Chain A
Amino acid sequence: MKFVDEFRAPELITKAGEEIRRLADRNRHYRIMEVCGGHTHAIYRFGLKDLLPDNVELIHGPGCPVCVLPMGRIDDGLSLAAQPDFIFAAFGDMMRVPGTHGSPLEYKARGMDVRIVYSPADALKLARNHPEKHVIFFAIGFETTAPSTALTLVRAKAEGLSNFSVFCNHVTIIPAIRAILDSPDMRLDGFVGPGHVSTVIGCRPYDWIAKDAGKPVVVSGFEPLDILQSIVMLLRQLRNGETKVENQYKRVVPWEGNSAALRAMAETFELRPYFEWRGLGFISQSALKIRSSYAQWDSEQRFSVPGIRVTDPKAAQCGEVLKGVLKPAQCKLFGRECTPEQPVGALMVSSEGSCAAYYNYEHSKTVRIAGAASN
């Protein structure tokens, strides 16, 4: 509660909290999944759980791209870039993610040419500036980021830039939601839908969740009030026995999505038959690969990729946490072997990962309280 005064429109926040209590049936336990890692971060950061009654539980979904990437893909990307005269370019989020033999940052310390870029366009620029080297852009992200990679591929082809390729790990959110709904140990009442992914794909792709799976979906913004209002909208639907897709984030998300972004993706990508997700296993048609018309700019079609598969460390329970079956602190390694400084699993690396979010906001609070009590 302590953050409420700092929020914009604190009186509306308080009202939304009251409305949630009014709408939630006391004899029922609600499990609502926020799909996007950005929402998970915001929920912990703002202490929103403190505003919810005990019977409204938030389950953290798979929408953190770094977290769902299996270690084998990192190993594959790094092994390609280990060749002489290669540059490995990736977003900063990737740099501390552990591969079998270390993170990209550790490879850099051992002499590999590893560069942080803030845009795929800058990886292209690196290639232009270093014609003697081959630049591999290690692409990750859901539909928020995939269109930018797509346009970068279009630009590379138009320029005929031959020393640039993309190691594509882009994934799509809908099949992951389907896998979670199909999972027998998962019972959910509704979804807080991702905000920025929806700016690209729009709201229609969630229709089946409402119509076929019978669960309400509310696409949400990231402010505390946005998230609370979305929970109000979900509870209202559940109370009225409705299941539909609603858009709480209309100021940014058009119902139809972004047609230019979707065209760029369709031009450059096609669906992989299947792709491995950390924690969720192989999910069919859940990831993007680069079309053969762009083969020259696809690291996987252009070079031979080892196809490394690595199982997660046995003691780490990233999969259960990712599926929302376990809370972060219930993992045996949490806060001991696995911390944001020394992450074992990727959920502890990204600020959008539920373990890192829990560690930074909840766990440190608990430790502080425990420490104060023992003094």
Chain B
Amino acid sequence: MCLAIPGKIVELDSQHSQMALVDVVGVRRKVDLGLLQDQAPVLGDWVLIHVGFAMSKISEADAIDQMRMLTMLGEAQAAMEEVRGYGLGDEEREQRTSGQPGQRFIQ
């Protein structure tokens, strides 16, 4: 329940200003930015995601630490399952990108 998943904003949705494409260890999904409207994130920002909504902005170093911690907690798989599950059959399919920070922590 309390999973907070770090992701990097890789695309802002020009049509829906509240949505952004976020990359989590190579998996890209749309998340809702509506809860961060007082500190509007920009492209390249790192956020903590909870149930499909960005909850807070964090630094890149903290994002990498957070992913490592999820791995240590044995919850990295559940986190990735959650991220993959966002959007139920959305047209965005998993796009693996190489060299993204954090990738080395997930097998």
A, B co-complexed? yes
Among the 9-residue stretches A11-19, A106-114, A116-124, the one with 4 or more Cβ atoms under 8 Å from chain B is A116-124
Whether the Cβ atoms of B2 and A196 lie closer than 8 Å is yes
Flag if A260 contacts B38 (CB, 8 Å).
yes
A322 to chain B, nearest CB (A): 16
User: Does the CB pair A64–B35 fall under 8 Å?
Assistant: no
Q: How far is the CB of B60 from the nearest CB of chain A, in Å?
A: 12
A-side contacts of B56, CB under 8 Å: 199, 252, 254, 258
- CB neighbours of B69 from chain A (8 A): 222-223
Residue of A38, A45, A119, A264 ringed by the most chain B CB atoms within 10 A: A119
B94 interfacial contact with A, CB 8 Å: no
Q: Name the distance in Å between B17's Cβ and chain A's nearest Cβ.
A: 13
Output the nearest chain B residue to A254 by Cβ-Cβ distance: B56
Whether the pair B35, A119 counts as a contact (CB closer than 8 A) is no
Q: Is the CB of A37 closer than 8 A to any CB of chain B? A: yes
Tell me which residues across on chain B come within 8 A of A41, comparing CB atoms. 73
Q: Which of B20-52 contact A (CB under 8 A)?
A: 32, 34-38, 48, 50-52
How does the 8 Å CB contact mask read for A144-155 relative to B, with 1 for contact and 0 for none? 110110010010
Contact between B87 and A260 (Cβ–Cβ < 8 Å)? Answer: no
Contacts of B52 on A, CB cut-off 8 Å?
A: 118-122, 148
Q: Is the CB of B65 within 8 A of A8?
A: yes
Determine the main DSSP class of B at the interface with A. Answer: mixed
Q: Please, how many residues of chain A have a CB less than 8 angstroms from a CB on the other chain?
A: 49
Q: How far is the CA of A351 from the CA of B69 in the complex (A)?
A: 16
With A65-B1, A120-B52, A251-B62 already in contact, the answer to whether A147 and B86 are too (CB < 8 A) is no
Chain B residues positioned under 8 Å from A8 (CB to CB): 65, 68
Is B72's CB under 8 angstroms from A251's CB?
no
B92 interface residue per 8 A CB criterion: no
| A259 located at the interface, meaning its Cβ lies under 8 Å from any Cβ of chain B in the complex | yes
Q: Is A119 a contact of B73 with CB atoms below 8 Å?
A: no
Nearest CB on B from A267, distance (A): 11
Q: Which chain A residue lies CB-closest to B88?
A: A122
B58 to chain A, nearest CB (A): 6
B58 near A199 with CB under 8 A, answer no
- Residues of B within 8 A of A (CB-CB), count: 33
Please determine whether A145 and B1 come into contact, CB atoms closer than 8 angstroms: yes
Indicate if B99 sits at the interface (CB-CB under 8 A): no
Question: Cα distance A281–B51 when bound, in Å?
Answer: 28
Q: Which listed residue, A36, A91, A147, A252, touches B53 by the CB 8 Å rule?
A: A147
Question: Complex Cα distance A264/B34, Å?
Answer: 9
A252 near B1: Cβ-Cβ < 8 Å: no
Partner of B1, one of A46, A125, A223, A352: A352
Q: In whole angstroms, what is the CA distance A2 to B56 when docked?
A: 34
A118 and B2 within 8 A (CB): no
CB distance from A35 to the nearest CB of B (A): 11
Contacts A64-B1, A145-B50 known; A122 to B55 CB distance under 8 Å?
Answer: no
**Chain B nearest Cβ from A360, distance in angstroms:** 9
For the complex formed, measure the closest distance between the CB of A183 and the CB atoms of chain B, giving whole angstroms.
24
A6 at the interface (CB under 8 A from B): yes
A-B contacts, 11 listed (Cβ < 8 Å): A45-B72, A120-B51, A122-B85, A141-B51, A144-B1, A148-B35, A151-B35, A222-B73, A252-B48, A258-B36, A258-B38
Chain B residues packing against A (C-beta within 8 Å):
1-2, 4, 32, 34-38, 48, 50-53, 55-56, 58-59, 62, 65, 68-69, 72-75, 81-83, 85-88
Besides A120-B52, A151-B32, 7 more A-B contacts (Cβ < 8 Å) are A46-B72, A119-B52, A122-B52, A145-B1, A196-B2, A222-B69, A352-B1
